[in-house]
Amino acid sequence: MEELDSNKKYISWPVLTLMAFCTVIGLDDIMYNFQNQGMPVVTSWIIMCLFYVIPYSLMVGQLGSVFNQEGGGLSSWVRGTNGEFLGYFTAWTYWAASIPYAVDSANEIIVDIGWALTGSEKFQSQISNTKFALMTFAMFIIFIIIEHYFSRSMEILSTIGGGLMLIMTLMFVFLAFLGLAKSGGHMATHPFTWKTLIPKFDMHYWTTIAMLIYALNGCELVAPYVTKMKKPKADFPKAMVALAIMTIFLTVFGSFALGIYFDGYHIPKDLKMNGAYYAFDMVGHQYGMGKTLLYIWAWTSVFYNAALLAVLLDAMTRMLISDTGDKYMPHFLQKKDKNGLPINGYVLTVGLSAFIMLLGIFLPDMNDIFNWLLNLNGIISPGVTCWIFFSFMQIRKNSQKFKSDYVFIKNDKLGYLAGLFLLIVTAVATVLGIAPQDIKQFSGYWWYELIINIVAIVVLIGLGAILPSIRKREEEYGIAFNRGQWTTMGVLVIGSIIFDLYLGERNHLFNGATLSLGQAKLGMNIVLILIETVFAILICWLVGRKKPTSAKK
């Protein structure tokens, strides 16, 4: 046994650091938060990395060590501490959080391709919200087909996209500071003083904290590898401290680099969607390379977001149907085709993604949809992160039951309080994040975004509460619904989507009209959507509640 153990391959702490780093931060994360806070985000990054990332990462390490036999997944942590139903519901919410992320990734691919082919953002003004939604939907279909016929597509896309993304991000920071030295210290953010880096702690600032958490979470994905380290007690803390240092370096210097090219006092409205392209365009011209860096970044982003979409579509769907109790997950969602793909799970993913896109159909333009989806991620993702701290508190409350090779804070009471502190911070940030960003406060569109934020959360989380009742129908009748019921409900859903897209296209036609006319049309279309949606839901409920005629007696 000793000989076998000596031949075991371990993961070194530098390798684990790099694995975690790739799941935590990227140039887009820096860009998003720079638009939210400007140059003061530098201070916010330092505070978050020191007081959030380090303890969060070390808590994940202990959870991964405790539940190493169950793969270290988030749902297994909750299931192990609080039972089967909460484990199922955690898996559902974790999966539901990936829906806006998947839609956002599909949107980014469209933006990336537009830049890659034209080298300009002008094409965005030529696309109506309806066309944008249809193109996003098409991306999902394309990637399902790719994954069906090319089994290694995720590995290839991840290798190309992930490698290029890391290189391009580091290169941007290096070239930005080199350019700053060449220009004699000239910055677009002027005047630049220490006061420039001090946040203004108003309500807007606190509503943007959730986006910082969204940018920094994700290290739980490396938790299963804690037990694959030779000396987890000593090496895992090293990896997490190194992760924090790398994250601080990239976020602080990356944000500062953005301040070199963008005026932190007057940030472009479309920085979240197009900022990286503007930055690489400016860097390229500064070094006499024209648009070369812009095009390289565009194709880098295409591969990177394609890899993200492929992983989200496949891995998250598989996780949902395989890492949840059979008692709560309907059998029809667990059905797989001859290639082992969870085809009905894909349909559910695509259907909910289409629903999320339709919620934003009445926003003014493509940039507003992009920003709204991004901010929706900043609400749902941190909300799911709360489960991590909840689970950590449970194992510290019952430390004698949950043994682990690695322990964060030896004193159980202090460890419990640390988990409680991060749980409260994350929960409060999640609630505050529901308030719309990037739009005039209390305007008509502000209230519209607030409403669709709440609707998206209720539907994504609420559907997880409905699925167990569908599973009960399968146990009682043999099938959940017969063919006629499925057909009727399917026609209602597809008909609703077509109707919504039609109204969305008409709304686009009136964007150039007078303000009063445009608002009147928007209001009328929203009322029609509400009436149609309530009607469709009512009919679906009436059809779905009936006993299937072909059910077993």
Q: Where are the domains of the chain?
A: 11-186+197-439
**Which range is least confidently modeled, 31-35, 313-317, 489-493?**
313-317
pLDDT one-digit tens code per residue, 192-225: 888 899 999 888 899 999 999 988 887 776 666 6
Helix axes 54-66, 74-82, angle to 10 degrees: 70
In the predicted structure, residue 74 carries a pLDDT above the cut 90:
no
Closest CA to 81 of 226, 90, 221, 233: 90
Residue 435 has φ and ψ, to the nearest 5°, of: -65, 130
pLDDT band (50, 70, 90) for residue 274: very high
Structure tokens at 58: 């070390």
CATH of domain 11-186+197-439: 1.20.1740.10
Q: Is 105 helix (H, G, I), strand (E, B) or coil?
A: helix
Closest CA to 48 of 233, 250, 193: 250
Across the chain, mean pLDDT equals 82
In the predicted structure, residue 519 carries a pLDDT above the cut 80:
no
Structure tokens at 287: 């070094």
Residue 476, CA atoms < 13 Å, CB-side half-sphere: 13
pLDDT one-digit tens code per residue, 144-178: 777 666 656 656 766 677 778 778 888 998 999 99
* Percent of the chain whose pLDDT exceeds 90: 23
Radius of gyration of the chain (CA): 24
Rounded distance between C-alpha atoms, residue 408 and residue 388, angstroms: 14
Rounded distance between C-alpha atoms, residue 536 and residue 495, angstroms: 9
Predicted model pTM = 0.82
Q: Which long-range contacts (CB under 8 A, 24 or more apart) does 450-454 make?
A: 452/359, 452/360, 452/372, 453/375, 453/376, 453/379
Rounded distance between C-alpha atoms, residue 406 and residue 266, angstroms: 47
